[in-house]
Structure 1
């Protein structure tokens, strides 16, 4: 799948998919990144959702958002995971779609990409 998108649409792919680089609207000197990651058709990664996709949203303050979502009765499927390049947690929407929330550290994310030898799609 990654190879098809690289060949036919020019995406600069890596082992995880492709990274799209963009500039933040509030400060055009700051970069932002969006990750596109195709999974095999038999993946279990999206469970407990029965759907064959997952949406990832960038958020500003993951802990505060998770606290609010809990108060609102939203299903949180795991604990917040912390990595150098950001914090992650998964929730379920009302239609059973798994959603990944990501509070990014774009500076560390870009550094990791460079260390992996990955290029971004701009």
Structure 2
């Protein structure tokens, strides 16, 4: 049996960003919205961007709830490559280094979210 968790592990990592640095998450979210149409070209999706709430109307401590909504999850999942590769005019990463910094700074939270995520997947196999 094979369990593929890489893409969903990425979502758990970005969820930690949303919990610990809401401003950075908002930047990532906006960037993902701008790049979604290009990035979705190689996927067969039913994602409807109109169902994603406006992040400017969501309180910081509620951003994490976006990860319970399928369209929001797909937005962040599909654009992961663009998010991690994005560079500014000085050829410095726009998001990648800041994401990693948060994951290292909040390592316990990061691993707790990943552990809970993998446990949920394993629990589904026992059914």
TM-score range, shorter chain: under 0.3
Q: Which has the higher strand share?
A: 1
Higher RCO (CA 8 Å, separation ≥ 6 residues) = 2
Q: Which has the higher helix share?
A: 2
